[in-house]
Structure 1
Amino acid sequence: MIDRRAFLGAGMAGAATLTFTSVWSQNAAPNFGAPTLPATGFKRMKLGAMEIIALNDGALRRPLGEEFVRNAPLEQVKALLASQNLPTDYVDIPFTPFLVVAPAGKFLIDTGFADNGPPTTGRLTANLAAAGFKPEDIDHVIISHFHGDHINGLRKKDGSLSFPKAKVHVPAPEHAFWFDDAKMNAAPPAAKGAFENARRVIGGLPAEQLVKFEPGAELAPGIRSEAAFGHTPGMSMVRVSSEGQQFVYVADVTNVPSLFARSPDWAVAFDMDAEMARQTRRRIFDMLVKDKTMAGGFHFPFPAIGSLETAGSGYQFKPVA
């Protein structure tokens, strides 16, 4: 067993790596080539009177080391990948925000990197345009949690807002954690960058633009937040409902589904409370399987929309065609 306090520190340090692209891209590691990005970087799905659009922001190829799964031997991790005919030396991690086109407006869920990330990221604006939208069309941005790959796309490198007309909705407990000076001062040195990044991106938003919500709150008719704590202290997922149909955006309830859906008791390096994240993962995936609800995940393989089925002691993500 990993000591929970040590794990929280490791999780916070892992969260900090999302701020620094050199850590993500592992420049000193062997070069396994670039990830293959989808030829068409958006995918539409009708949901009653609404539309859900997956918008790929790119992907990163990350060498697979001992640190990525913190509570399983690397040989077991590689064996699980091999059993699915997947590479065992690296993992590809895609980044996929979602656009909900609803009667109440256009809601973008999470943002990717904008021009702040590695060269194989920052595709959101182009894929938004390919789907027929401009950044100025976005009425609302819903943030699931404050890790850099989810919030950095709110601002361009020059500090300007990527979605200038949008209200930015953030989970209140998530905001409280990252803006707590005592928590930042007590954090391991490697984790302080994540606190600083959250303050850089979120902190300067005008008061009338920033909306804090309690998990469980209805953000608009048919769009409701739900608590999904563990990966971060206040992470929230989003349930979209229209005309009897439902879609759930699970954010980072699982990172790479070929690992953490198939073995939901494993913990990715970025989970800040591993045990709570594990319980949340099983609770949410059990619900999605039972209710046969369509789901989307930020790090799911594109088109990042599909269903969850039971597979052994875990779950299998089945993407839509």
Structure 2
Amino acid sequence: MSMNRRTLMAGGILAGPILASAPGLAGGGAAPAADLPGAYRYGVGEASVLALHEGGVKRPLDAGFVRNAPLPEVQGALARAFLPTDTLPITFTPLLLTLGGKRVLVDAGFADQGPPGTGGVLRGLALAGIDPGTVDAVVISHFHPDHILGLKRKDGSPTFPNAQVLVPEAEWRFWMDDGRIANPPDALKANLAAVQKTFGSGLTVDRYSWDKEVLPGLTALGTPGHTPGHTSFRLESGGKRLLIASDITNHPALFVRHPDWSALFDMDADQARATRHRMLALMADERVPVAFYHAPFPAAGHIAKADGAYEFVPLQWGVDLA
């Protein structure tokens, strides 16, 4: 399938898949999902966004995943969304922006350091004909492992060797605190180890502040709660906008439909809940398109008000988001 820039950009925000051929498809057999890179390109004004399917995991669903809702209610929400009620599929979608002539990756995935079923960012880039060495910047939203481990490969070498790495100042202060590193709380030990593995040596890192442009056209928005320095972004180009929400919600079938519910991963549940309400209301009221990290691929669409809460309306191929 061929898609040139004029086709891609017509009308402001248009979308199209990058299709892969895989063994077995032409002959009617089904190739394993892990063998099929996923990449989906859409435009935001004069910028382009390449959603990269890093992969996913299936997390066993137990009473602790949603900390403030009974398990039967959580299972009911999943059943209404036609999802399994014993496991939760969690997917990961970093974004490669082409903005002002620069290639900017928002969050890094796992590279070759993740669980089985991940590592799709590098396959998606290869499918799109993009060498990781041509990525100009990697902007990190927060320091959970599924967002940072992909900055390096298992051997410690940088995955994106020529990229400027930009991280939130507030997140850096929390996770790189000498006292916290020396005496890590039990609940944070694994995450602190991932942070040290990533940022302890071998990378040059620049820090950015909230409410300022990280790069031209990309503004950092403070959305704390999930982590202390959790950040979302506003992409603006050619009079169009996209809100890159990062992890203000986990799976939308649970946390968009039920914004008061708190996921196990939210470090400050009350603050995360307040952030989620504020941002979902903004998305719905302003009808601004949004990209999530953990929504079903390609993880972009709109937020609509529904029954006193919200619903995620996924983008449809070939139709304007804005």
Shorter-chain TM-score range:
0.7 to 0.9
Q: Is the 8 A contact 1:50 1:103 kept in 2?
A: yes
1:17-73 per-position Cα deviation (integer Å, ceiling 9, x unaligned): xxxxxxxxxxxxxxxxxx956955011111111101100110001111111111111
In the TM superposition, 1:221-236 aligns within 5 A as: 221-236=216-231
Cα pair 1:54 1:303 within 8 Å, conserved: yes
Q: Secondary structure at the match of 1:195?
A: helix
The number of aligned residues is: 285
Structure 2: tracts of 5 or more residues without a match? 1-31, 317-322
For residues 132 and 311 of structure 1, what CA distance do their matches in structure 2 show? 41
Residue 257 of structure 1: aligned partner: 252
SS of match in other structure, 1:250: strand
| In 1: Cα distance, 2:305 partner to 2:33 partner | 28
Corresponding residue of 1:197: 194
Quote the Cα distance in structure 2 between the aligned partners of 1:214 and 1:253.
Answer: 18
Among 241, 258, 273, the residue aligned to 1:246? 241
Q: Equivalent residues in 2 for 1:122-161 (5 A)? A: 122-161=119-158
Contact 2:293 2:299 in 1 (8 A): yes
- Assess if the C-alpha contact under 8 Å between 1:229 and 1:280 holds in 2: yes
Question: How much does 1:137 deviate?
Answer: 1.1
Change (3 A) 1:57 1:220: same
What letter is aligned with 2:303?
A: L
The 2-side partners of 1:238 and 1:260 are apart by 19
Cα pair distance change 1:312/1:248, threshold 3 Å: same
- Give the whole-Å Cα distance in 2 for the aligned partners of 1:217 and 1:203: 26
Larger Cα Rg: Structure 1 or Structure 2? Answer: 2
Q: Which residue of 1 aligns with 2:55?
A: 58
1:74-117 CA distance string (max 9 Å, x none): 01100111122221111100011001101141100001111111
Mark the runs of 5 or more structure 1 residues left unpaired by the alignment: 1-34
1:267 aligns with 262
Aligned equivalent of 1:68: 65
* Amino acid of the structure 1 residue aligned with 2:129: G
Aligned to 2:271: 276
SS at match of 1:100: strand
- What TM-score results when the alignment is normalised by the length of structure 2? 0.85
Between the two structures, name the one with larger relative contact order (CA 8 Å, sep ≥ 6).
Answer: 1
Opposite residue 44 of structure 2, the aligned amino acid is L
Structure 1 length-normalised TM: 0.85
Q: What is the percent sequence identity of the aligned residues?
A: 41
Q: What letter matches 1:232 in structure 2?
A: T
Post-superposition shift, 1:180?
0.9
Q: Which residue of 2 aligns with 1:91?
A: 88
